[in-house]
Amino acid sequence: MIGDNRVALVTGAAHRVGRAIAAGLGAQGYRIMLHYNQAEEAAIETGSDLTEAGVEVELHRADLTDLEQIEPLFAHIKHRFQRLDVLVNSAAIMRRVAFGQVEAQDWASTINLNLRAPFFCIQQAARIMQQNGGGVIINISDIAALQPWAEFPVHSISKAGLEMLTRVAARAYAPQIRVNAVVPGPVLKPEGMSSKRWEQIGAELPLGRTGSPAEIVRAIIFLIENEGITGESLVVDGGNQLI
C-alpha cells in the first residue's frame, strides 16, 4: 500500500517526530495532509521542505482539542484529495505534573489531545476510507503507556487509553481498515534536557543508545505494508520496557 499517489494525514506534523513521519511517507510516494496547530512557522517550513523534495503537500491548521475543528480537517482532505489512505495520529502533549497537583485543566488538555482527538479523527478518517475500499490507521503511543510514570500521570493514562483505542478501533473497522500503534521509547531529546542526561538515558537501555525518528518511520511503513497485522502495538524503545 505504499505510494501509488495515495494520501496520508499526519497530525502534529510541523516538527519533531511528526515532521519525520510526514517526510518519510512523502518519500514513499504519499501526498501529505500536514496538520498543525500552534507551530505555524515550523509547519510552513516543513511543507516547503516536502515540496522541494517533490512531495505534494497541503497544510491545515486545527486545534484537535476542539471537536468542532476536527470535521473541517477531514472535509478539507476530501475536497482536496477525494480520498484518504493513511492516518497517523501523532499530535500529543506531555506535561510533567505530579499526581497530587493535577487539576481539571491539566486532565482535560492532555486527555482531549492524546486520546479524545485520536478517537474522533479515527471516526472521521474511517468514513472517507470506507468509500475508497479501506485504509490504515497508525496511533503514535508512548512507552509511558506500558510503564506508570509517576511524574507524568495523565500522560501515562492517556497513552494507555490510546493502546485500548487501537484495539477497539481495529475490531470495529475490520476488515476494511487496519488499526495499529507504534510505541516509541526515547527517540528525541526533550527540550531543556542536557545532552549529558540524554546520553545517559541511552547508555542505560539494553541496546546502549537512544532511538531515532527514522526508526519510528520504518516501523510505521512496516505496519502499513504488512496486511496481516491489526490491533497490535509495535514497541520501538531500545529495550526500555525490559528495565
pLDDT in tens, 8-66: 999 999 999 999 999 999 999 999 999 999 999 999 999 999 999 999 999 999 999 99
- Tell me the C-alpha distance between 191 and 94, whole Å: 12
* Average pLDDT, integer, range 57-85: 97
pLDDT in tens, 229-240: 999 999 999 999
Percent of the chain's residues with pLDDT above 70: 98
Helix (H) or strand (E) holding 58: strand 57-61
For residue 3, what pLDDT is reported?
54
Question: Are 173 and 179 spatial neighbours (Cβ–Cβ below 8 Å)?
Answer: yes
Handedness of CA 127, 229, 158, 110 (dihedral sign): negative
- Tell me the C-alpha distance between 209 and 237, whole Å: 10
Q: Which residue has the higher pLDDT, 223 or 191?
A: 223
For residue 122, what pLDDT is reported?
98
**pLDDT classification of 192: cutoffs 50, 70, 90:** confident
Write down the residue that cell numbers 492532555 correspond to. 110
**pLDDT classification of 2: cutoffs 50, 70, 90:** low
β-bridge mates for residue 58, sequence order? 33
For residue 76, what pLDDT is reported?
98
**pLDDT classification of 5: cutoffs 50, 70, 90:** confident
For residue 4, what pLDDT is reported?
66
**Average pLDDT over all residues of the chain:** 95
Domains for the chain: give ranges and CATH numbers.
Answer: 7-236 (3.40.50.720)
